[in-house]
């Protein structure tokens, strides 16, 4: 299990990732956009969201750093745009930690299967720290 840093940008994530690729001489990141995700007719994706970065990551000096743009209309505050991401192949351990962290906190998305993860969820703990949990095989 790892704790990774997740940086959120306000529409300029591609630019930031390209900058960090150069600064840290990393491999080129694979970028998933909001438009790449499965679409629901009940929740049409706004045109301005389609090319925004939904998720990408770089390996910087052996640490995984993940990135995304905020979804259009979602609040963005410089200084509060960092979350901690638990990435693990141990779903039971993730669920135990999630259940403990949500005590006194606010669940943003209950743990559930998504198109990118067998088990994903997010919450803000009672101290105001935002956490994301993602199950990945061989994490």
Per-residue pLDDT of 35-91, as tens digits, reads 999 888 888 899 999 999 999 999 987 889 999 999 988 888 877 788 888 888 999
**Fold (CATH) for 5-69:** 2,3-Dihydroxybiphenyl 1,2-Dioxygenase; domain 1 (3.10.180)
Full-model pTM: 0.74
**Rounded-to-integer distance, Cα 17 and Cα 131, Å:** 21
Contacts of 39 (CB under 8 A, 6+ apart): 45
Residue ranges of the chain that CATH labels 3.10.180.10: 5-69
Residue entry with tokens 């998720």: 55
Contacts of 114 (CB under 8 A, 6+ apart): 120
How far CA 42 is from CA of 35, 45, 54, 105, in Å, comes to: 15, 10, 19, 29
Give the pLDDT confidence score for residue 28 in this predicted structure: 95
> For the domain bounded by 84-135, which CATH number is listed?
3.30.720.110
């Amino acid at each position: 299990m790892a704790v990774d840093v997740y940086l959120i940008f306000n529409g300029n994530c591609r630019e930031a990732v390209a900058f960090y690729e150069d600064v840290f001489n990393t491999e080129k990141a694979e970028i998933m956009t909001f438009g790449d995700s499965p679409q629901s007719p009940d929740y049409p994706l706004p045109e301005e969201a389609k090319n925004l970065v939904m998720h990408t990551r770089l390996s910087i000096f052996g640490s995984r750093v993940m990135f995304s743009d905020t979804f259009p209309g979602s609040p963005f505050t410089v200084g509060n745009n960092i979350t901690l991401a638990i990435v693990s192949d141990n779903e039971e351990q993730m669920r135990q930690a999630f259940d403990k962290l949500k005590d006194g906190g606010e669940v943003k998305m209950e743990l559930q299967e998504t198109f990118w993860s067998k088990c994903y969820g997010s919450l803000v703990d009672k101290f105001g720290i935002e956490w994301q949990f993602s199950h990945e095989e061989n994490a």
